[in-house]
């Protein structure tokens, strides 16, 4: 893959630690999506977070990945991975 088409995905340590505790199947699906972000962070079931310029939500089964994109630097910054509940949004 051409490096000009590659995004850098930043996952904070606290989010990475949370992922480790998820069931294996869910963790693997989320990790696959995070790898997909390297080529295109806007693919899949996403929605822009209202009132936020760079914040997005990606649905992965019962989980939601909240992240910001910075097009000028080609960075995807993962903010949180949460299990969908009535309090998620």
Residue at 32 is within a domain:
yes
Residue at 88 is within a domain:
no
**Whole-angstrom Cα distance, residue 75 to residue 71?**
7
Residue at 77 is within a domain:
yes
Q: Which helix (H) or strand (E) holds 16?
A: helix 13-20
Residue at 89 is within a domain:
no
Mean pLDDT of the chain, nearest integer: 91
33 in Cβ contact with 42 (< 8 Å):
no
Domain count for the chain, please give it: 1
CB-facing half-sphere around the CA of 45: CA atoms within 13 A: 8
pLDDT mean over 49-63? 93
**Whole-angstrom Cα distance, residue 23 to residue 83?**
12
- pLDDT digits 0-9 by tens, 6-20: 999 999 999 999 999
- pLDDT digits 0-9 by tens, 60-69: 999 999 999 9
Residue at 26 is within a domain:
yes
* Residues of the domain holding 44: 3-83
CATH code assigned at 30: 3.30.2310.20
């Amino acid at each position: 893959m051409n490096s000009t088409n590659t995004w850098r995905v930043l996952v904070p340590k606290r989010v990475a630690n949370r992922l480790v505790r998820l069931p294996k199947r869910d963790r693997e699906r989320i990790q696959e999506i995070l790898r997909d972000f390297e080529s295109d962070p806007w693919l899949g079931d996403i929605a822009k977070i209202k009132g936020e310029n760079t914040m997005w939500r990606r649905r992965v089964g019962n989980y939601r990945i909240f992240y910001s994109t910075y097009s000028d630097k080609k960075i995807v910054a993962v903010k949180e991975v949460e299990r969908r509940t009535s309090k998620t949004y």
